[in-house]
Structure 1
Amino acid sequence: MDLSAFYFDIRKDALYCDGDTLRRRSARTVLDLLFHRLTTWLAPVLVFTMEEVWLERFGGEDSSVHLVDMPETPADWLDPALAAKWASVRAARRVVTSALEVQRTDKVIGASLEAAPVVHVADADQRAALQSVSFEDVAITSDISVTGDPAPAEAFRMPEAEGVAVVFEKAEGGKCARCWKVLPDVGSHATPGVCKRCDEAVREMDTGV
């Protein structure tokens, strides 16, 4: 559930739309690590399914997931401080996504990428956690602002996320034909109808660099 509803949902943008960036390479590395662990961990239970999955990637007469050892996972991958930070980020994200769902239900927006909300966060540590990541990517919006200013009375709040309030704002600019983000620079690059990132990715593919 965490993988499909959180990590995969967020990182598909980088996988599909980035050029040869560190972010995209990092995501592919994570996917490779996940593949090897999930297939080998589940192989004793889902014998035929994991074999089929394995052979789709590593075909050949001598290939089998049942001939592969389960990879050892380094102990230092267990990082309580990092887990606590991301729990805080995800708590704020739930408020943002719930606020955007209200706007979607009211037909104000059709997708979260049409939004550029302002997130008021009272707790300094939580605010620092949000500002240390690309929170617009985490929330799947085109832009986002995180502030410690007091939230207005009309801001969206949730009882289980005390100290976090969201003021909805629509994203400004045009819709990128490639990544679908709404950004001010869309249409101002060599590739028609796209944002800076997508223009660079397209030209990278065209030149083979």
Structure 2
Amino acid sequence: ARTVMDLLFARLTTWLAPMLAFTMEEVWLERCPGDDSSVHLQTFPDTPAAWRDPALADRIEALRRVRRVALGALEIERREKRIGAALEAAPVIHIEDAALRDVCSAADMAELLIASGATVTGAPAPEGAFRLPETPGVAVVATLAEGAKCARCWKVLPDVGTHAHPDTCARCDAALEARG
């Protein structure tokens, strides 16, 4: 685990240094102090070819395509003032292709969409569902999330208010309990 963290540190600090110059310099100097030490004097480390995972890259690209459709549907709802933020929604994502549906079902689509919930289904999409021409077979119906707004994470969930910490969902209640 320590080797992984070291490799991640070296890559992230050097890759982000051109955009976050001062922040990455501070981070680098915390780890590698010295008058002649600077992240800006480092070369970008080579990434081993063995790290490439084409199957994972394909899954991520598929998720990004579906996410684009879902965010388009949520943006229309926001523009029409039916929702104020994506966290007020729980979109239903209709996907015709079984393999793509499996990829999306295995992912936490609510987290990817920054929504309170998301449902992935193979059921035919209703006529008014949002679609993008570049992503055939995917349609989204933006629905309102049911429940109350969690005071900590702002998700709208049905279990808010039923835990030891008032006005929190189960996840936030567990986090607060763990803190003591």
Establish whether residue 191 from structure 1 lines up as the match of residue 178 from structure 2: no
Helix, strand or coil at the partner of 2:116? coil
Please say if 1:38 is aligned against 2:17. Answer: no
Kept in 2: contact 1:177–1:194 (CA 8 A): yes
SS at match of 2:178: helix
Q: Percent identity?
A: 54
Q: Deviations over 1:75-122 (max 9, x none)?
A: 332011110111111100000001000000111111101001111001
Partner of residue 64, structure 1: 37
Write the deviation string for residues 130-158 of structure 1: whole angstroms up to 9, x where unpaired.
01111111111111111111111111111
- The amino acid of 2:37's aligned partner reads S
Q: How many residues are paired up? A: 174
Residues 122/191 of structure 1: CA separation in 2 closer, same or farther (3 Å cut): same
The normalised TM-score by structure 1 is 0.73
- Determine the structure 2 residue equivalent to 1:117: 91
How far off is 1:51 after superposition? 3.2
Q: Look up the equivalent residue of 1:105 and give its one-letter code.
A: R
Q: Is the Cα–Cα contact under 8 Å of residues 117 and 145 in structure 1 kept in the other structure?
A: yes
2:88 matches 1:88: no
2:140 aligned counterpart, secondary structure: strand
Q: Find 2:101's aligned residue among 127, 136, 141.
A: 127
**What TM-score results when the alignment is normalised by the length of structure 2?**
0.84
Deviations 1:39-90 (A, max 9, x none): 33576x78x74534422x4374468245878656443320111101111111
Contact preservation (8 Å) 1:171, 1:182: yes
1:1-209 matches, cutoff 5 A: 34-41=8-15, 49=22, 50-55=24-29, 57-58=30-31, 60-61=33-34, 64-65=37-38, 73-206=47-180
**Does the residue aligned with 1:64 lie in a helix, a strand or coil?**
coil
Could you list the runs of 5+ residues in structure 2 that have no partner in the other structure? none
- Return the structure number with greater relative CO, CA threshold 8 A, min gap 6: 1
